[in-house]
Amino acid sequence: MSAFQRCLILAAEVAAKTEAAAAGGLTSSAKRRGKNFFEVVADLPNWGVGSKLRRKPWSETEYYEVTKVRVKSHDGRSGSAWGLWYSSPFHPGPAEEQIRGLAKHDWKVSADTSEQVSWKEAYREPKTKPKAEAS
């Protein structure tokens, strides 16, 4: 078998593996990772301040209400964050605390945060001008 034939066989094997991966035949080690904390809050208004975020292993009643976020400017995927810890819907933690585990890839927005209004909508100027006083 010539080197050219071996190269063709190898290329065919790589193409077959690529097609299998694209068709959903991924192994457990190749599954897509979730988002870390900063990848989630990057899509939210005001970097997620006021949002309720939780990790996937936690129950629906366990979440942080984000109060402050400090993002490292060089990558936007790391930094620090603080919030109030809720272990049940009506009992916040005693004070603001630093959120741990921000780099873990299992963060998501809690279900009831969808009602949140973006900062652009909250501070939008009214489109109509006030009427001038008639004399």
All structural domains of the chain with their residue ranges:
1-28, 37-111
Contacts with 30 (C-beta within 8 Å, 6 or more apart), sequence order = 21
pLDDT value of residue 30: 47
Tokens of 69: 């976020």
Q: What is the pLDDT of residue 79?
A: 92
State the pLDDT at residue 23: 64
Compute the distance between CA of residue 52 and CA of residue 67 in angstroms, rounded to an integer: 10
Alpha carbons 16 and 65: distance in angstroms, whole number: 46
Give the global pTM. 0.58
Amino acid at 94: P
pLDDT in tens, the chain (135 residues): 788 877 778 778 777 776 766 666 555 544 678 999 999 999 899 999 999 999 999 988 889 999 999 998 777 888 999 999 988 766 766 788 999 999 999 999 987 654 554 444 544 555 565 566 665
